[in-house]
Amino acid sequence: MRALEAARRRRQQSRADARRAILDAAETLIVADGFDAFSMRRLAVRCGYTAPTIYHYFGDKQTLIDALVEERCQVLLRAVKRIPLGTDPVRNLRGMCLAFIRFGLRFPMHYQLLAVPHDDEDKPPPPSAEAARALMQGPLEQLAAAGRVPAGVEAAGQALWAYLHGHILLRTGRPGYEWEKGVLEIGLDALLEGLIRSGPSAEKPARVRKEPK
């Protein structure tokens, strides 16, 4: 029995190692050359596994990309969860928005894969991305329940999404541009002030470290 259990564990470890090697190789290729240049043939050369082996583990190219994006979205989810939550939902929302943008700036290629429209419009987003979105929705719903979001949760959420998405794409699309220090916080604070009515318990947003140029 011990020999059978040991053999089972070796097989599991071998599968895990193969899956990890394929994902790492895919990430390297996509980050280095972009998604348009990515192919399963190039991936097979890079990782050392045959195309049939890759398809065995991931089914198809899109499933492989989805697995890679989900891994990185787990980084986003952890970052959003790490934001210290206080009594002011505006401050909580601000911290989560900053965490979201920093994720996009840190992993621009993965963010592009996450943001690109799919042919299947009914396809759900990566689970970790959806969980992060739900966490960020929480403070907005708190504020709306207190009557502090005149435009409504949906419109306010879309306005925030447009700003966060646009900021990430501009910063990653024009890396050589000399962005002013603090431009992220300036824009975000102005947007939050416009979307959210002040309340009796509202705190002044805490100054978070400014983004480097």
Which CATH number does the domain housing residue 30 bear? 1.10.10.60
146 and 89 in a common domain? yes
Mean pLDDT, residues 86-112: 93
- For residue 6, the model assigns a pLDDT of 67
Q: Are residues 24 and 50 in the same domain?
A: yes
Structural domain tally of the chain? 2
| Mean pLDDT across 37-46 | 93
- Name the residue range of residue 6's domain: 2-59
Whether pLDDT at 209 is above 70: no
- Tell me: do 141 and 161 sit in the same domain: yes
Residues 82 and 181 both lie in one domain: yes
Same structural domain, 85 and 44:
no
pLDDT tens profile 112-150: 877 766 555 667 888 999 999 999 999 999 999 999 999
Residue 212 lies in a domain: no
Query: Does residue 207 belong to any structural domain of this protein?
Result: no
59 token code pair: 């089914």
Binned at pLDDT 50, 70 and 90, residue 11 comes out as confident
The H-assigned helical ranges of 34-126 are 40-47, 51-58, 61-81, 89-106, 108-115
